[in-house]
Amino acid sequence: MALGTYSQLKTAIETWMARSGDTEISGNSADLVTLAEDRLNRDLPLRVNYTDGVLTGTAGLRTLTLPSDFYEPVALWLTTFGTRDMLTPYIPGNVEADTTSGTPQAWGVNGTNIDLDVLCDQAHTFLFRYRKSFALSDSATTNWLLTNHPALYLQACLFEAEMLAKDFEAAAVRNQIVESMIEKIAWKDARSLALAPLMIDPALAGYDGFNINTG
């Protein structure tokens, strides 16, 4: 049985539930995938889901539209002038927004937009680092997780199916399987990040030749 696309995943849910043709499952298979992805997005922040997107502002406005696959922000850089200058994050509503036009220096996520601290005085360009979501659909038929860990995707969907069928005993067992798989995949993902060297602020490194005994 193939399990590499959105359509194949929905079919597999019916097969593994041994309820092929049951409209309670087939009629809600898309919802089951969505519910499973909601959990995976919360509990599995994989490095492969961190990405960079190019955003462009509009003169006279202070808002940027978030990417459609946005899940969690990381950083925003201004790239208008050929350099990558990091903007300071802030919480919209807690800081008075400037009503004048200028070059943005700060930003914050507000609903479905990014709010800047000033109105753009030109069509500024930005590089937005963010975590994208797992979101299969008829137009986005596969993703990294389904390709590399189809068992987790399926097990997470089957848990939601068993909850729908009110088979709570089976769902409890399935939940343990899903949690174990998430933990192992997250651990493997963390190992790749651990390969990066620890960066130390030069100001904290001290002077060359420092001796713990003599100073």
Residues facing residue 94 across a β-bridge:
none
User: 9-20 pLDDT, tens per residue?
Assistant: 999 998 898 766
CB within 8 Å of 9: residues ≥ 6 apart: 3, 33, 136, 146, 150, 153, 154, 157
> Is-contact 42 190, C-beta < 8 A?
no
| Model confidence pTM above 0.75 | yes
User: 79-121 pLDDT, tens per residue?
Assistant: 999 999 999 999 887 766 677 899 999 999 999 999 999 999 9
Burial of 177-207, coded b for 16+ CB within 10 Å and e otherwise, reads ebeebbeebeeeeeeeeeeeeeeeeeeeeee
Residues facing residue 54 across a β-bridge:
127
Chain Cα centroid distance, residue 146: 15
